[in-house]
C-alpha cells in the first residue's frame, strides 16, 4: 500500500516559518497523491493499480493482488476451453453438473406447474411431465397409476404356478404384479392368462383365498397417497362411535367417491347431516345454510364428487348441491320437479344423468345434466306402477334398475342416449316389495333387497338377460331386507334388515355368497340403509335406534404395498420427486423398468437423494436410467411403514428425460 506522510505542522496562529513548513508538507502529499493517481491510470506491467492493490482471499483463485487474481481467473477460463482444468478449480465438469442441476430443477418446476394448472383445467398436453396430486387431477400427466386389482378365489401353496382369481380382466402377460395377504407379499411377472387362471413363476409363499393381486394397492386420500387394504380377520371392524350422531332415524347414507364427505339423511331436523372424514375420524359439519326443510329419505353423490342430491318430502322433493372448496352450494331448482316424496336417487357414472324414485306417479323421474342445469327427460314408455324405494345406475351407465312396492318389484331399463326402454322382466321375480337395489362389479350381478323370504334376490346378467341365481346365499337374512350394497370390487355384499343382528354380510366367490360372521359390535336397531365408501375402506349402516349410524372398517391397511405408474413415451431416463410426510417409520423405494413393448418388465432400483423441505416434509429425488431408450416404461413405488404411522406421500412430480 502507498503511505501518506503524517503532517508535522499545523498553520494555526503560527509564524511565517510555520507557513513554509506547511507548504513543504503539502508538496510532499501532492507528490504522493500524484504517484497513486498515476498508478491507477497506468497500464504498464507491474505498475498498474491492479498490481498494487491487494484483495481478500477468494476460494478457487490464487492469493495476491487484484491483477494476480484476474490472471488466475483468465488462466482457468482458458483451460475450460481446452479441457485441461486442474482439480479443485473452475472446470467444465462442474459447469456441466450445474447445468444439469438447473435443467433438473426446470423439469421439476414444469411438472409442478402442470399439476397446479390441471386443477384449473389449464394444463398442456405432450409436456413429458409426470405429476399426481392424489386428488384425481392429472389429466395430462404422461405417467398414470395403474389401479388394476383383483383377489384370489382359491388358496395357493408354495411352489404353485397357477393363481385362480375372481376377475382377470386387464391382466397382461409379461407385466409385473403383486400378490399379498396379511402375512406375505411377493411380486411376479405374469406368464400367461387363461380364463380366471393366472400362470406365474413358482410362488415362494402360501396365499389363502381372498389374497389381493394387483398393479397398485393404494388409496388417493384428499391429496395424500396412503396404503390400500387387505382382508381383515374380522369383517367388518367396528370403529369408535361418531361424536355427533344424527338426531333421529337414519334412512339414507352415502360417501363421496374421494372419501372426504359422508352424508346421512333423516326424518328428524336438520334432516341432512354432513361429516368430514380425516383418517378414521368423522367430524360433523355445521348445518348447511340452505338445508332441507322436511324429512329426507336418500342421498346420492355424483361419481366425480362435485355434486350430490338429497331426496325429501319438501316442496321441490329433491335438493341439488354443488361442492366448491368445501362449501355446499344449493343449485337452482329445476323448472320441472317431482310432485311426490323422493325415496331413491342415483347419478350415472359420467354425471350426465340423475334418476329419482318417487312415492307416486310417474314413480321414476329422470334428468339429463349439463352445466349444473337439470333438464327433465320424457318419462319411460313403461313406468313402474307403485312406489319406488330405490334406483341404481349400472357401473357402465347403460342400465337403470328400479325397485317398487308393486309387482314385478324390479324393473330394469336400458338407456340409449336420453331414452330409457324397459327390458323384459326376469323369469323369476323378487318375492315381495322391493326396498333396495345394487349392481356388482362389471355389472355382472344385480341384487334386490325386498320383503318376504328369501329377502334378497340376486340376478346374473348376460347381455340384456337377467337370470335369478338359485339359492346363492349360504344363509338368508332373518327378516325383511331394507337395503343392499355391493362393495366396489364386488367381493362383498351387505344387507340391512329388520331383525337382529340387523346387518348381514357375504363374501362372494363367483356366483356363491358365503355368510360372514356378524360384526363384534352389532347395530342397535332395524337396518334401514347400507353403503360402502371410499374404495371399500368403510361400510356404513343407518338404522332406527340411537346412535342411528354405525361405521365399520372393511379392510386392514398393511405395512408394505406397491404402486405402479405406466409412463407414456420412449426414453432411457426418468426423474421423480416424491414429497412425503417425515417419519422414521415411513420410507419409499422406487424401481424403473424400460423395455421393449413385447418384453417382460424388469425393475432396477432408482438412485435416491433426500432433502428436508420443512420440519415435517421431505423430498426424495429418484433417478433411473436404462442402457437404451425404449417404449414400455413403468415406475414402481414400494411404500414401507409401521402400521401405527399415518404418514403419506403428498405429491409426485416427474419427467421423462
Q: What span, in angstroms and rounded, lies between the C-alpha atoms of 15 and 78? A: 64
Q: What is the mean pLDDT of residues 421-436?
A: 98
Question: 65 pLDDT exceeds 90?
Answer: no
What's the rounded Cα separation, in Å, for the pair 643 and 224? 16
The whole-number pLDDT of residue 388 equals 98
d(CA 299, CA 634): 40
Q: Find out if CATH 2.130.10.10 is the number for domain 230-557.
A: yes
Report whether pLDDT(11) > 50. no
Q: What percent of the chain has pLDDT over 90?
A: 73
Categorize the per-residue pLDDT at 1 as very low, low, confident or very high, splitting at 50, 70 and 90.
Answer: very low
Averaged confidence pLDDT in the chain: 90
Peptide bond into 467 cis (omega under 30): no
Better-predicted residue by pLDDT, 99 or 192: 192
Q: Grid coordinates representing 647? A: 404418514
Nearest one of 617, 614, 528 to 252, comparing CA atoms: 528
What is residue 220's three-state secondary structure?
A: strand
394-430: string of b/e by CB count within 10 Å (b at 16+)?
A: bbebebbbbbbbeeebbbbbebeeeebebeeebeebb
Q: Residue 4 pLDDT > 50, yes or no?
A: no
CA atoms within 13 A on the CB side of 186: 15
- Sheet containing 281-284: which strands, arranged edge to edge? 250-255, 261-266, 272-278, 281-284
Query: How confident is the model over 360-386, as a mean pLDDT?
Result: 97
CA-based nearest residue to 554, from 212, 109, 202:
212
Tell me if 649 sits within 8 A of 225, measured CB to CB.
yes
Measured CA to CA, the distance from residue 348 to residue 29 in angstroms comes to: 96
Tell which residue, 192, 183, 237, 176, has the closest CA to residue 210: 183
Alpha carbon distance 119, 324 (integer Å)? 13
pLDDT tens readout for residues 558-575: 889 999 999 999 999 999
Instruction: Name the grid cell of 212.
Output: 389381493
Question: Which residue matches cell numbers 370390487?
Answer: 489
pLDDT band at 243 (very low <50, low <70, confident <90, very high): confident
Q: E-strand spans in 371-490?
A: 373-376, 388-393, 399-404, 410-416, 419-422, 434-439, 445-450, 456-462, 465-468, 481-486
Distance CA 521, CA 529 (A): 17
Q: What is the pLDDT of residue 23?
A: 61
CATH of 148-214, one of 1.10.3470, 3.40.630, 2.40.10, 1.10.150: 2.40.10
The three-state secondary structure class of 16 is helix
* CA 448-451-456 angle, 5° bins: 35
The continuous run of DSSP H or E covering 17 comes out as helix 16-41
In the predicted model, what is the mean pLDDT of residues 427-449?
97
pLDDT of amino acid 8: 47
Q: Where are the domains of the chain?
A: 16-79, 91-146+559-657, 148-214, 230-557
Comparing 74-78, 186-190, 418-422, 449-453, the range with the smallest average pLDDT is 74-78
Give the separation between CA 495 and CA 197, rounded to whole angstroms: 30
Q: What is the pLDDT of residue 344?
A: 98
Lowest mean pLDDT among 4-13, 105-114, 180-189, 294-303: 4-13
Confidence band (pLDDT; 50, 70, 90) for 296? very high
At 46, the pLDDT band (50, 70, 90 cuts) reads confident
With a pLDDT cut of 70, the percent of the chain lying above it is 89
Strands 445-450 and 456-462 turn out to be antiparallel
**CATH number belonging to domain 91-146+559-657:** 2.60.120
More confident residue, 47 or 368: 368
- At residue 239, the pLDDT reads 85
> Diameter of the chain by CA atoms?
138
Q: How far apart are the first and last CA of the chain?
A: 55
Q: Which residue has the higher pLDDT, 26 or 375?
A: 375
User: Does residue 37 surpass a pLDDT of 60?
Assistant: no
- Provide the CA 505 distance to its chain's centre, in angstroms: 27
Q: Residue 144 pLDDT > 90, yes or no?
A: yes
Average confidence (pLDDT) over 179-194: 96
**Range 23-43 average pLDDT:** 63
- Mean pLDDT over residues 24-51, rounded? 65
Amino acid at each position: 500500500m502507498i503511505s501518506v506522510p503524517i503532517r508535522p505542522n499545523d498553520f494555526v496562529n503560527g509564524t511565517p516559518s510555520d507557513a513554509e513548513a506547511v507548504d513543504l508538507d503539502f508538496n510532499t502529499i501532492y507528490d504522493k497523491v500524484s504517484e497513486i493517481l498515476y498508478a491507477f491510470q497506468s497500464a504498464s506491467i507491474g505498475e498498474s493499480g491492479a498490481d498494487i492493490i491487494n484483495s481478500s482471499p477468494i476460494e478457487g483463485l490464487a492469493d495476491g493482488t487484484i491483477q494476480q487474481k484476474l490472471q488466475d481467473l483468465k488462466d482457468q477460463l482458458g483451460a475450460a476451453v481446452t479441457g485441461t482444468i486442474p482439480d479443485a478449480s473452475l472446470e467444465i465438469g462442474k459447469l456441466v453438473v450445474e447445468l444439469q442441476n438447473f435443467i433438473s430443477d426446470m423439469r421439476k418446476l414444469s411438472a409442478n406447474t402442470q399439476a397446479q394448472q390441471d386443477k384449473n383445467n389449464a394444463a398442456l398436453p405432450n409436456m413429458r411431465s409426470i405429476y399426481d396430486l392424489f386428488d384425481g387431477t392429472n389429466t395430462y400427466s404422461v405417467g398414470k397409476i395403474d389401479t388394476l386389482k383383483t383377489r384370489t378365489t382359491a388358496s395357493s401353496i408354495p411352489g404353485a404356478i397357477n393363481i385362480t382369481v375372481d376377475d382377470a380382466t386387464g391382466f397382461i402377460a409379461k407385466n409385473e404384479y403383486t400378490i399379498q395377504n396379511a402375512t406375505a407379499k411377493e411380486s411376479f411377472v405374469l406368464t400367461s392368462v387363461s380364463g380366471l387362471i393366472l400362470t406365474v413363476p413358482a410362488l415362494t409363499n402360501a396365499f389363502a383365498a381372498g389374497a389381493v393381486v394387483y398393479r397398485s394397492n393404494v388409496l388417493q386420500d384428499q391429496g395424500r397417497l396412503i396404503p390400500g387394504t387387505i382382508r381383515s380377520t374380522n369383517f367388518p371392524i367396528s370403529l369408535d362411535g361418531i361424536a355427533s350422531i344424527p338426531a333421529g332415524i337414519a334412512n339414507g347414507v352415502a360417501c363421496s367417491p374421494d372419501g372426504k364427505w359422508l352424508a346421512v339423511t333423516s326424518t328428524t331436523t336438520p334432516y341432512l347431516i354432513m361429516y368430514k372424514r380425516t383418517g378414521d375420524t368423522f367430524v360433523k359439519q355445521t348445518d348447511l345454510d340452505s338445508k332441507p326443510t322436511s324429512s329426507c329419505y336418500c342421498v346420492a353423490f355424483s361419481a366425480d364428487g362435485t355434486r350430490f342430491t338429497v331426496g325429501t318430502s319438501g316442496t321441490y322433493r329433491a335438493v341439488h348441491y354443488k361442492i366448491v372448496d368445501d362449501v355446499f352450494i344449493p343449485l337452482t331448482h329445476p323448472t320441472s320437479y317431482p310432485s311426490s316424496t323422493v325415496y331413491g336417487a342415483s347419478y350415472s357414472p359420467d354425471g350426465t344423468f340423475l334418476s329419482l324414485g318417487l312415492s307416486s306417479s310417474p314413480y321414476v323421474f329422470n334428468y339429463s345434466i349439463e352445466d349444473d342445469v337439470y333438464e327433465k327427460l320424457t318419462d319411460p314408455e313403461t313406468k313402474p306402477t307403485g312406489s319406488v324405494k330405490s334406483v341404481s345406475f349400472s357401473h357402465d351407465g347403460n342400465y337403470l334398475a328400479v325397485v317398487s312396492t308393486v309387482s314385478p318389484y324390479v324393473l330394469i331399463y336400458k338407456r340409449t342416449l336420453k331414452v330409457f326402454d324397459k327390458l323384459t322382466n326376469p323369469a323369476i321375480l323378487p318375492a315381495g316389495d322391493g326396498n333396495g337395489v345394487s349392481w356388482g362389479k362389471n355389472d355382472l350381478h344385480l341384487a334386490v333387497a325386498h320383503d318376504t323370504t328369501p329377502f334378497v334376490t340376486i340376478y346374473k346378467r348376460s347381455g340384456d338377460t337377467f337370470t335369478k341365481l338359485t339359492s346363492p346365499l349360504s344363509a338368508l337374512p332373518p327378516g325383511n331386507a331394507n337395503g343392499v350394497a355391493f362393495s366396489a370390487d364386488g367381493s362383498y355384499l351387505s344387507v340391512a334388515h329388520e331383525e337382529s343382528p340387523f346387518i348381514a354380510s357375504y363374501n362372494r366367490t363367483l356366483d356363491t355368497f358365503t355368510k360372514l360372521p356378524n360384526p363384534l359390535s352389532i347395530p342397535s336397531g332395524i337396518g334401514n340403509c347400507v353403503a360402502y365408501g371410499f374404495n371399500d375402506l368403510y361400510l356404513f349402516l343407518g338404522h332406527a335406534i340411537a346412535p342411528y349410524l354405525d361405521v365399520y372398517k372393511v379392510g386392514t391397511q398393511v405395512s408394505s404395498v406397491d404402486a405402479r405408474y405406466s409412463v407414456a413415451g420412449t426414453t432411457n431416463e426418468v426423474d421423480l420427486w416424491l414429497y412425503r410426510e417425515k417419519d422414521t417409520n415411513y420410507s419409499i423405494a422406487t424401481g424403473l423398468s424400460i423395455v421393449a413393448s413385447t418384453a417382460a418388465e424388469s425393475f432396477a432400483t432408482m438412485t435416491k437423494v433426500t432433502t428436508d423441505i420443512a420440519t415435517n416434509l421431505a423430498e426424495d429425488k429418484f433417478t433411473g436410467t436404462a442402457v437404451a431408450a425404449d417404449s414400455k416404461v413403468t415406475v414402481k413405488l414400494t411404500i414401507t411403514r409401521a402400521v401405527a404411522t399415518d404418514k403419506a406421500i403428498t405429491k409426485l412430480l416427474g419427467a421423462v428425460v
